[in-house]
Amino acid sequence: MTIRLLTNIGRLWTGTDLISNAAMILHHDRVAWVGPASELPQRIPGVLDDIVDVDEVDNLGGGLVTPGLVDAHSHPVYAGNRYAEVAMRASGASPAEISGAGGGVASTVTVTRGTDPWTLCNGVRERLRHWLLSGTTTVEAKTGYHLTRDGELADVRLLRSLEEEPGLPRLHVTFFAAHAVPPEYFGRPRDYVEAVGGWLSDAAQAGADGVDVYCDNQQFTAEDAHWLLSQGRAAGLQTHLHACAKPRHGVVRMAADLQCSSVDLLHETDEDDVLALAKSSTPVVVCPTTSLHERRTPPVRALLDHGVPVALGTDHNPSQSGSTSLSLSVGMAIAMFNMSVIEALRAATVGGATALGTADRGSLTPGCYADIVQWDADHEGAFAWAYGLRALRVWRGGEAIR
């Protein structure tokens, strides 16, 4: 069991507190002690008999340190790209025009289905590596671009296998077969919903942590989502929801009544939705890059003021957001959502852990994973100045990645 001392930390955000001139003691892959360097203990019962017995000492030179960031919403399992579609959208093309030109989710489904597993795996591996190197140590990773039973289950297994490789982040695997109705079910959306419901137990056995449903005015209805999420919960899966439908459909209130693990995006919502979320304490995941593309802003300030837990995601996907930098999302959230630096950092750490139901990360407190980032700055205000603040060093479970 390796014991490491990180010292001369200029500013430390633990996930709950800011500490100046701080130090940390790591025991194997966990945090054993954290606090002001002036209070560094000489011994820790059951961990350290004497401070002189520390195996390794790292002097961080007065830098800024936070927990590893937690990306609570991403879609990394896909092949190909949709650059032409992005260019069309930037030129003012409508969704119907893009679809008519062969774009949309269906285009990624076609390419992903036609890509061999080895090539697909290599692409996902490279994306996940970029997440970790940019300071994100846990990523919520959705499936959703095969839309067949075997393909979606294979994606779950792919993600679970990659998590075990060195140099990659921890993963929360979300089964997202209810992303869209595939071509072979055209005109039969209810048949597809029932098919997906029958796959959920297999998804849990394959290693999925959660289930998600894309609920908006063109995809799955609130009734579809309620049924699928209930089936997922019965299979032991956490429940997430792309809540994109207009308020009159009652999607957000349905998710709050179900006490979903998270309700994501919320570009179409109203005051009643906010109050329902506050009453249920249902976490909300917001994604600044997507809000920017959609030109619609979720009511983040109202959510925070009502005590709703808020998390951040990159919403990395082949259509709208190519970013794997959650530190970029932190800077954008400060500018776009009227969040303070600490509120945005909380959303990117403990907020993300809350949305994923993982209490052992997102915080640098004793017993949590020693997932740590030293940033290229000496104060947290740099997140609001340098969009995509650079990670100087990253530790995953106490092991230095860079």
- pLDDT tens digits along 146-167: 999 999 999 999 999 999 899 9
What's the token pair of residue 89?
A: 């959208």
**DSSP H or E run through 199:** helix 189-206
Q: What spatial distance separates the first Cα and last Cα of the chain, rounded to whole Å?
A: 21
DSSP-assigned beta bridge partners for residue 284: 263, 310
Q: Are residues 84 and 61 in the same domain?
A: no
- Percentage of the chain with pLDDT > 70? 99
Q: Are residues 291 and 390 in the same domain?
A: no
Q: What is the pLDDT of residue 100?
A: 85
Q: What is the pLDDT of residue 402?
A: 78
Q: Are residues 45 and 157 in the same domain?
A: no
Q: Are residues 136 and 283 in the same domain?
A: yes
Q: Which DSSP symbol is given to 74?
A: B
Q: Is the predicted pLDDT of residue 247 greater than 80, yes or no? A: no
Q: Is the predicted pLDDT of residue 212 greater than 90, yes or no? A: yes
Q: Are residues 145 and 275 in the same domain?
A: yes
Q: What is the pLDDT of residue 250?
A: 87
For residues 145 and 241, what is the distance between their CA atoms, to the nearest angstrom? 17
For residues 386 and 259, what is the distance between their CA atoms, to the nearest angstrom? 36
Are 179 and 185 in contact, with CB atoms under 8 Å apart? no
Among left, alpha and beta (phi > 0; psi -120 to 50; other), residue 380 is: alpha
* pLDDT tens readout for residues 273-282: 999 999 999 9
Residue with tokens 């090539």: 119
SS3 94: coil
Q: Are residues 52 and 127 in the same domain?
A: no
Name the nearest CA neighbour of 239 among 267, 271, 264, 207: 264
What's the token pair of residue 239?
A: 């429940």
Q: What is the pLDDT of residue 95?
A: 81
Name the nearest CA neighbour of 12 among 72, 60, 51: 60
Residue 315 exposure: Cα atoms within 13 Å on the Cβ side: 20
Residue range 166-187: average pLDDT? 96
Q: Are residues 56 and 183 in the same domain?
A: no
188: confidence class by pLDDT, cuts 50, 70, 90: very high
For the ranges 124-128, 198-202, 244-248, the lowest mean pLDDT is seen at: 244-248
The CATH number linked to 219 is 3.20.20.140
Name the nearest CA neighbour of 294 among 326, 336, 254, 262: 336
Q: What is the pLDDT of residue 218?
A: 72
Q: What is the pLDDT of residue 217?
A: 66
78 residue type, one letter: Y
Q: Is the predicted pLDDT of residue 134 greater than 70, yes or no? A: yes
Q: Are residues 219 and 100 in the same domain?
A: yes
Q: Is the predicted pLDDT of residue 88 greater than 70, yes or no? A: yes
The CATH number linked to 395 is 2.30.40.10
Count of residues making up the chain: 402
Name the nearest CA neighbour of 250 among 229, 272, 231: 272
For the ranges 124-133, 224-233, 290-299, 369-378, the lowest mean pLDDT is seen at: 290-299
Q: Is the predicted pLDDT of residue 1 greater than 80, yes or no? A: no
Q: How many CB atoms lie within 10 A of CB 281?
A: 12
Indicate the number of domains in the chain.
2
Beta strands at 210-215 and 56-67: parallel, antiparallel or unpaired: unpaired
377: confidence class by pLDDT, cuts 50, 70, 90: very high
Q: Are residues 125 and 254 in the same domain?
A: yes
Q: Where are the beta strands (DSSP E) in 197-294?
A: 210-215, 238-243, 262-265, 284-286
What's the token pair of residue 336?
A: 């776009």
Q: Are residues 257 and 308 in the same domain?
A: yes
Print the SS3 string covering 355-390: HHCCCCCCCCCCCCECCEEEECCCCHHHHHCCCCCC
- Please spell the DSSP secondary structure of 133-189, one letter per residue: HTTEEEEEEE--SS-SHHHHHHHHHHHHHHHTSTT--EEEEEEEEETS--GGGTT-H
Q: Are residues 380 and 283 in the same domain?
A: no
- Percentage of the chain with pLDDT > 90? 89
Which residues constitute the domain of residue 327?
Answer: 69-356
pTM of the model: 0.96
384: confidence class by pLDDT, cuts 50, 70, 90: very high
Q: What is the pLDDT of residue 57?
A: 94
Residue with the bigger pLDDT between 100 and 205: it is: 205
Residue range 187-198: average pLDDT? 96
Q: Are residues 351 and 367 in the same domain?
A: no
Q: What is the pLDDT of residue 19?
A: 98
Averaged confidence pLDDT in the chain: 95
Q: Is the predicted pLDDT of residue 245 greater than 80, yes or no? A: no
For residues 212 and 238, what is the distance between their CA atoms, to the nearest angstrom? 9
* pLDDT tens readout for residues 6-34: 999 999 999 999 999 999 999 999 999 99
